[in-house]
Amino acid sequence: MGTEVKINGRHNRVLEGAGWVAGISVMLAEMQFGMDYVLSHVVGHVSAIVGWLPMVGALARHFLG
């Protein structure tokens, strides 16, 4: 009976460890997808802002002389 308890305890620890590894792996994958999403939007906004620079420069030169 004592051996069975040790085997069950070891089996439970292995399953618990596997659960932690799976959870951390899923979390890291979600973080990577989230960062890719954010980066794509940042690149889109930066390209739009860069498109405004000639107009902003012309206005600044006109008003600031």
Residue whose token pair is 């069975």:
4
Residue whose token pair is 């960062």:
35
DSSP structure class, residue 65:
-
Report the predicted TM-score, pTM, of the whole model to 2 decimal places: 0.54
For the chain, 65 residues long, give each residue's pLDDT as a single digit of tens. 556 656 677 778 888 999 999 999 999 999 999 888 888 888 888 888 888 888 888 999 888 87
Question: What is the distance between the alpha carbons of residues 50 and 56, in angstroms, rounded to a whole number?
Answer: 10
Q: How far is CA 51 from CA 23, 37, 59, 62, in A?
A: 42, 22, 14, 18
